Amino acid sequence: MDSRNLDKAIEIYSKLISGEDISRKHLENGALYDEYYGNAEVYDIVGTIMKKLNLAIYEYQDSLYITAGEGNRVFGYTNDDMKKLLGLRLNKELYLCYFLMYMILLYFYKDSESYQFKEYIRPEKVVEETTKYLNGITKDLSVLVTEEIEQDSFRAVALMWDELPAVSSTADGETARAAKNSRAGYVKLTFNFLTAQKLFVETADRYYPTDRFKALSENYFEEYRGRLYQLLGGEEDA
């Protein structure tokens, strides 16, 4: 193994794990992108590092991105970590935010055959799409009382959404604030997290997906789409 190639591979890993951009268009790190795709040994070493650390590397429009693999407790977030970051206490609150992330993902990307990115999404659109999806579920649950449903189940999420007002009664036409008192508030909480992760950029209450989001949705979602749907109560091949 060439020591120079090892150094370059480690440098690529170091830049990516620290959140820096490695892109052909990037003045400082552009050469590293060329090293990754132009040097087979560097490519293989980076791949080995990622596999050993349970990380995935994705390419989108001449740029590289990484994400933690499933169950990665070092570079990923546990449910408890997520509750702290989002300011939540209950599992059903966290699962609602997870579901909102899923709905946001579906808005931009469903599968490789229908792949086309919309320019942006508004919070009220997320509320509308989520309500539409969950309406059928809450109708089926009408014979049940809340106490009979486990708080970490998909049914609990559906009932919780059904009980929330669309917006806070104190909003009075203002832009929704991140809070747990309305559907719009939970959507705002979710977008605050996604923005902090550099997946969206917010302008005038419009949320624009970044290239990082596009890279993850194009690659990661295709890999885990069946599993995500199954977790939300459907069949894996639906």
64 & 105 share domain: no
Q: Are residues 111 and 202 in the same domain?
A: yes
Residue 229: per-residue pLDDT: 53
The pLDDT value given to residue 228: 52
Distance of alpha carbon 35 from alpha carbon 42, whole angstroms = 7
Residues 47 and 115 grouped into a single domain: no
pLDDT, position 157: 85
* Residue of 64, 76, 200 lying closest to 126 (CA atoms): 200
Domain-embedded: residue 128: yes
Same domain membership, residue 98 and residue 52: no
d(CA 111, CA 178): 30
CA angle 158, 218, 220 (to 5 degrees): 65
Q: Total domain count for the chain? A: 2
Q: Cα dihedral angle (166, 171, 175, 178), rounded to 10 degrees?
A: -70
Residues 93 and 26 in one domain: no
Same domain as 126, residue 59: no
pLDDT at 217: 81
The last residue of one of the domains, among 68, 96, 124, is 68
Instruction: Compute the CA torsion angle 13, 15, 19, 25 (nearest 10 deg).
Output: -110
Q: Quick one: pLDDT at residue 225? A: 57
Q: b/e per residue, 130-153, with b = 16+ CB within 10 A? A: bbebbeebbeebeeeeeeebeeee
Q: Which domain holds residue 44?
A: 3-68
- Domain boundary among the residues 18, 39, 68 is at 68
Same domain, 46 and 134: no
Is residue 237 included in any domain, yes or no? no
Statement to judge: residues 59 and 125 lie in one domain: no
Asked whether 106 and 123 are in contact (CB, 8 A), the reply is no
Among the candidates 15, 42, 68, a domain finishes at 68
Q: Which residue, 111, 113, 154, is CA-closest to 133?
A: 154
Per residue of the chain (238 residues), give pLDDT as tens: 688 999 999 999 999 998 888 998 887 888 999 999 999 999 999 999 999 999 989 888 899 999 888 777 777 888 899 999 999 999 889 999 999 998 998 888 765 555 556 889 999 999 999 998 887 666 655 544 444 445 456 778 888 998 899 886 555 555 567 888 899 999 999 999 999 999 999 999 999 999 999 888 877 666 665 555 555 544 443 3
Query: pTM (2 decimals)?
Result: 0.79
User: Does 121 lie in the same domain as 210?
Assistant: yes
Q: How far apart are the first and last CA of the chain?
A: 46
Is there a domain that residue 236 lies in?
Answer: no
Q: Is residue 97 part of a domain?
A: yes
Residues 164 and 217 in one domain: yes
Classify residue 238: in a domain, yes or no: no
